Amino acid sequence: MILTVTLNTALDLTYRVRSLRPHASHRVSEVIERPGGKGVNVARVLAALGHEVTVTGLAGGGTGRAIRDRLAEVPGLTDALVPVAGATRRTIAVVDELSGDTTQLNEPGPQITPAEWGAFLDRYEELLAGASAVALCGSLPPGVPVGAYANLVRAARSAGVPVLLDTSGEPLRRGVAARPDLIKPNADELAELTGSHEPLRATQDARRRGAHAVVASLGSAGLLAAGPEGHWQATPPTRLHGNPTGAGDSAVAGLLSGLVERLPWPDRLVRAVALSAATVVAAAAGEFDQSVYEGLLRGISVTGDISAA
């Protein structure tokens, strides 16, 4: 079983409009509602790939109930979310059909009490016992300690469970120091962590700070990975336009599935890039276009140097 953690779950709403214009009224052509938050998106992609996956984290209120109702419909996915009193947030993506651009609005999460956080920690420890790998994903809601991910990384390492960390800012900085097996920042998050805007140098610096391996998202340039064996870059053959929400989460799912399947690094990166690109053209985060994904698996180039890391 693969375990994903989403401390700041969300109900994702996607609105499609003909053309998004400031200070104007818009007729919405389509509304899509999905359970969200980074780890939830990762879990849905993993389930679609055929993996048994368990979702944990925090959820509450009417939006929390809506998320859990939707998760119950996903084959291969087990809901182990911990209930809280506050209402889970919503995120709103507005897709401009003419330009293909997306505008994102993210609500803050609910205030988490010390008792609720303690209940989650107990549940997390229980779930680790049956996990083959764990992904710690996304932002922290108010009330959760800034060093939360560092503690969760240490708990996974103590249990002998490989752990992937995908967050940003101070939670990432503290989490890296706890020595996760893999981190997956984007270029801006990596530069904030290391102070370097040169991707390869920054990935190597992040490893010196504690990460065993680093995979950096470089947008249309694909993914750059650095680990003990060397470094590789996987690049998609073409840039796809659509809704980028969840593309990074699909990449995490590709990396995590490759890890548990013991795939070599180039194959992990090809899968992650193909899933990420196939998510851009899908209707909502946590989904991917199967035909685009299968086509890209044959067209992604990987370059690398096994002696450089």
Active site residues: 249
Q: Write the DSSP assignment of 10-22 as a string of letters.
A: EEEEEEEES---T
46, amino acid identity? L
Beta bridge partners of 10: 36, 89
The total of other beta-carbon atoms located within 10 Å of residue 158's CB is 10
Distance CA 47, CA 53 (A): 6
Q: Measured between alpha carbons, how far is residue 84 from residues 12, 61, 93 in Å? A: 19, 8, 25
Distance CA 121, CA 160 (A): 17
Kindly give, in sequence order, each residue whose CB lies less than 8 Å from that of residue 76, ignoring residues fewer than 6 positions away.
47, 50, 51, 52, 53
Q: Are 11 and 66 in contact (CB under 8 A)?
A: yes
Distance CA 190, CA 186 (A): 6
Distance CA 86, CA 118 (A): 16
Which of 162, 232, 223, 159 is closest to 190 using CA atoms?
223
Question: Mapping DSSP to helix (H, G, I), strand (E, B) and coil, where does residue 133 land?
Answer: strand
Question: Mapping DSSP to helix (H, G, I), strand (E, B) and coil, where does residue 130 land?
Answer: coil
With b meaning 16 or more CB within 10 Å and e meaning fewer, what string describes 72-99? Answer: eebeebbbbbbebebbbbbbebbbbeee
